[in-house]
Structure 1
Amino acid sequence: MDVSGKRSRVVSLILSVILSVFLLVPNISYRVSAKDVMTLNAGSATECEVRAVWFSFRDWQKYLQGKDKAAFTSAFETITDNILGAGCNTLIMHVRSHNDAVYPSAIYPWSSEMLMGVDPGFDPLSIMIDIAHKKGLSIHAWINPYGFRNGEYCGDASLATHDNIIAGIEEILKNYKVDGIHFDDYFPVMDASIHNKLVSDVYKTCHKYGKVFGISPTGNVDNNIAKGADIVTWMSVPGYIDYIAPQIYWTNMYKSDGSVTLFSNRLLQWITLNKLGLPMYVGLALYMAEAKPASDLGWSVSNANIMMQVTELRANNQPGFILYSYNSLLSPACSAELANLKGLYNSAPSYKVAMTEDEATNTYTIAIDPGHQAHGNSEKEPIGPGASTMKAKVAGGTKGVSTNIPEYELTLNIALLLRDDLLSKGYNVVMIRETNDVDISNAQRAQIANDAGADIFIRLHADAVENGSVTGATALCQTSSNPYNGALYTQSRLLSECILSSYTQVTGIKSRGISETDTMTGINWSQVPVTIIEMGFMTNAAEDQKMNDPEFQLLMVQGLSSGIDMYFASK
């Protein structure tokens, strides 16, 4: 990227922080003009990341319907606690779904789907806003403007007029301190000019009250265009929306054989269409972890899809996401996906050093994968994109014959030291894990490096054989004929040679040479130059003790780091 491109990203980052504050701080009362909002571009600081959840009319039916005021208040208190517990900071709450409302309205009847069509004797929306803001949650009013679902208008279809929709939105903004208005993807097929007139008028109404307006279209670009949802205009011409939230509900192992990186493909489409640089809060399908459709293998073989998707959003400077839906936060079938996502919140895997724009242009990013984890995972995954051959997601690893220290602890210790050393040299670093209690498969580890735009991917391991006299370090890379990433062979081989040579010279550990193999899942899924460094044998008592000695570990890190320097110097 040239210097001007870097400057643009810095400006985008600053502007995104401003918008994130506007979206997330509940009681901002200042007015915002169209110019103020529409000139804000996507770009993200993760500390201001929008982490939202949709609470749909179906969630209403399960958790809020049929309650008196006291029970409703108590239930919603629990709901907000659960949302905060999931690491989210924004609630997208369904308030109009079927040409009806969950608040006393002069235009719409009481909601049949959410409140059984009767006056509950209190104002649910007022209670929800008060509680959400008290807890520090931003709350946006989610509206299906036409009450249109499954090819038909719901409730009283005569209410689905342009004037009623605008008046209904003004009714909400005039009477309630919501933080924004949110449309879903249920647009009936109409000429784009009709939808555009409505969207533009909603935008003007929201800005009249100093609130933001966003739309969550389906993630399939062609489907939107076919029904007149003119996403191209909304994202290229000022005056329509303040943010876009495309529902990109597919994994990067799409199809029954996992051969299509559909999430990345669709994300790139939306980024390309977003000519205004609007904040994009991508809709993510947490519920698919329970549905597990046969047409999308990723949901069946991985429980870190959402985590990897958020990592990719961050790598592409997108400022947040929305999870569908609240019920999935509580579903046991979704708990592993959610736990991995929360692990991403709780760690800081990506590190960037402060530098000038000219320096940043030449800065390399290194992804470091400390091999294994506290508990292996014997479930199977394809050894490469589209492969029919399957291997265990993560092997258990070995442990020191003398120290009894597990391999996963050794690799993490070295990785953390290497991270700090590389940062001190001015490299950017992406850590695949920073704790031992994770569940990240080998394919997922490679995908994290890919999504982060790493320049190289270093995988740290230690060796083991039955013969306790065997010693030495090995580097592994793919063959030149690797069916998944053979084009990376030359660079991966060079990377392996540089690091192994430097590592063995500095530490004095014997070199066992380079091993070329196409059987390693973590290598096959990598889209950047990659090497596995087997740092020594934990089944050899002396080598085990050396590798776990704090002073010797500094030599190990020096050797690895110098090898990385050597690789980039040779390019």
Structure 2
Amino acid sequence: MKRYRLLMSLLLLLFGLQPIATAAQPQTSTGVTANAAVSQSIPPTAPPDIVNGTAPQPVINPNAGAEGSSTAVNQSQQEMRAAWVSTVYNIDWPSKQGLSIDAQKQEYIRLLDELKATGMNAIIVQVRAESDAIYPSALVPWSKWLTGTQGKHPGYDPLAFMIEETHKRGMAFHAWFNPFRASTNKDPGKLAANHPARLHPNWVVPHNNQLIFNPGIPEVRQHVIATILEVVNKYDVDGVHLDDYFYPYGQEAFKDDATYAAYNQGRFANKGDWRRDNINTFVRDLYQSIKRVKPQVEFGISPFGIWRNAKDDPTGSDTNGQSSYDNLYADVRTWIRSGWLDYVAPQLYWSIGYKPAAYDKLVHWWAAETNGTPVKLYIGHAAYRVGSNTTDWATSDALIKQLQLNKAYPQVKGSIFFSAKTLLNNTAGVGSSLKQYYAAQTP
């Protein structure tokens, strides 16, 4: 334990992270508003790393990516055209566990070439799925999705290879982290010996047959930031990307009463506001830490598509579903207005005109929310729904109409598609349709 804490302290000093506030030195409030009940009339729809379209559930160059790097991609003038690449459950890459080094590399090269041909200019790869890594890390074990065994070295550095191949093609590489999911399995005995949930069992909360890091513990937030800074410092990434998983989805209560009692100390009248402050503090500290060590690296988050419903907050959207604010305790509005993001990419995984959460209404709301701010707005699209057995998503026209609608809003600076496999498989012609659409656009 002492050796782990010493290692953490040295890494934090190296990576430029400021010490956390203790219970005796509380972080200041970040402007959250009162909690409110939220309708559950629609389920959470396909965050980037869920399975089957259903809701929740070597040597590294230490100077890589420094100012003036010749391999970094200039993203400032480009429309973002990106795809998510999930490693969890082998959704997108690698296609299965235990492939040879050459097979893994060839799969990624094919994926890149196909995505570039489709019109993509960026890729968002999940480098941390469950407090693991697809790169050699001093803080977390190797991902089991590479070899089939968590902690087993795959024989090469996948992240270094992926970044090099991506930049060869003039595409941007964003490293995607799931911050607070510790394990997709609730049994800590199945984790590698150096997994943080094994080293610090008090950091995790069993929830929905998974292990979730408790965001209310300051050391947890500090640890997650340190793992992200490890990548920022060592690799030539163009961006750091977080998904929508903060406090977890699901009807099951997240059991953090003891943490609330220990760390709130009367600062907030209800647990909801305290939870939001924990996430706000995490987002703020992560943004500032990234900019301190590599200001050119972009930081973006892809939240659930509804911030709040208008029935709960008159400034919310005309929707009727669960929300980032009330259910995941993610106050995206505060992050935007505080300037803690370079971009926001809400997951608008519904069709135009869908009554509980209409795509057109939500694009309008998010465009207004980011208008006049330096935060770029990208839209997360549900490409995986194209070809499904519903009228709204029967053909790729549904997705193309969304892209055409985006053109009415100058605030929308690009799109991200879930997921890469759908585009590569050309499900219901979605890959071909995107290729044709983007070929007709001005780069």
> Are the structure 2 counterparts of residues 252 and 261 from structure 1 closer, same or farther at C-alpha, using a change threshold of 3 Å?
farther
Q: Among residues 134, 157, 176, which one is paired with 2:235 in the alignment?
A: 176
Alignment-mate amino acid for residue 330 of structure 2: A
Q: What is the SS of the residue equivalent to 1:63?
A: coil
Post-superposition offset of 1:251: 1.1
> Are the structure 2 counterparts of residues 71 and 333 from structure 1 closer, same or farther at C-alpha, using a change threshold of 3 Å?
closer
Bigger radius of gyration: 1
Q: Among residues 351, 354, 357, which one is paired with 1:251 in the alignment?
A: 351
Q: What is the SS of the residue equivalent to 1:195?
A: helix
> TM-score normalised to the size of structure 1?
0.49
Alignment-mate amino acid for residue 338 of structure 2: V
**Root-mean-square deviation (Å):** 2.9
Cα deviation 1:60-82 (Å, max 9, x = unaligned): 55536423322222222111101
Cα deviation 1:66-110 (Å, max 9, x = unaligned): 233222222221111011111101000000011111111110011
1:123 aligned to 2:219? no
Paired residues of 2:82 and 2:416 also in contact (CA < 8 A): yes
- How many Å separate the matches in 1 of 2:282 and 2:186? 19
Paired residues of 1:253 and 1:262 also in contact (CA < 8 A): yes
1:94 aligned to 2:132? no
1:94-493 correspondence to structure 2 within 5 Å: 94-116=126-148, 117=150, 118-147=152-181, 156-157=196-197, 158=200, 160=213, 161-188=220-247, 191-208=275-292, 209-210=294-295, 211-222=297-308, 223-226=323-326, 227-238=328-339, 240-254=340-354, 262-274=358-370, 276-292=373-389, 294=390, 297-300=391-394, 302-317=395-410, 318-335=412-429, 337-348=430-441
Alignment-mate amino acid for residue 229 of structure 1: A
Q: What is the SS of the residue equivalent to 1:280?
A: strand
Report the more deviating stretch, 73-82 or 269-278. Answer: 269-278
Higher relative contact order (CA 8 A, sep 6+): 2
- How many Å separate the matches in 1 of 2:234 and 2:441? 41
> Are the structure 2 counterparts of residues 340 and 69 from structure 1 closer, same or farther at C-alpha, using a change threshold of 3 Å?
closer
Percent sequence identity over matched residues? 31
- How many Å separate the matches in 2 of 1:104 and 1:123? 7
- How many Å separate the matches in 1 of 2:288 and 2:147? 30
Paired residues of 1:91 and 1:138 also in contact (CA < 8 A): yes
Say how many residue pairs are matched: 302
Hey, what does 1:52 align to over in structure 2? 82
Hey, what does 1:370 align to over in structure 2? none
Structure 1 gaps, min length 5: 1-25, 32-39, 350-571
Q: Which runs of 4+ in 1 moved over 4 A?
A: 148-156
Paired residues of 2:94 and 2:107 also in contact (CA < 8 A): no
> Are the structure 2 counterparts of residues 89 and 311 from structure 1 closer, same or farther at C-alpha, using a change threshold of 3 Å?
same
- How many Å separate the matches in 1 of 2:233 and 2:397? 42
Hey, what does 1:567 align to over in structure 2? none
- How many Å separate the matches in 2 of 1:108 and 1:79? 27
Post-superposition offset of 1:207: 1.1
Post-superposition offset of 1:237: 1.5
Paired residues of 1:151 and 1:188 also in contact (CA < 8 A): no
Alignment-mate amino acid for residue 364 of structure 2: L
- How many Å separate the matches in 2 of 1:73 and 1:192? 40
**Structure that is richer in strand per residue:** 1
- How many Å separate the matches in 2 of 1:291 and 1:218? 21
- How many Å separate the matches in 2 of 1:91 and 1:153? 32
- How many Å separate the matches in 2 of 1:217 and 1:148? 19
Paired residues of 2:97 and 2:147 also in contact (CA < 8 A): yes
Hey, what does 2:39 align to over in structure 1? none
> Are the structure 2 counterparts of residues 174 and 332 from structure 1 closer, same or farther at C-alpha, using a change threshold of 3 Å?
closer
Post-superposition offset of 1:346: 1.9
Post-superposition offset of 1:235: 1.3
> Are the structure 2 counterparts of residues 242 and 344 from structure 1 closer, same or farther at C-alpha, using a change threshold of 3 Å?
same
> Are the structure 2 counterparts of residues 171 and 346 from structure 1 closer, same or farther at C-alpha, using a change threshold of 3 Å?
same
Paired residues of 2:353 and 2:360 also in contact (CA < 8 A): no
Q: What is the SS of the residue equivalent to 1:133?
A: helix
> TM-score normalised to the size of structure 2?
0.62
Post-superposition offset of 1:28: 7.7
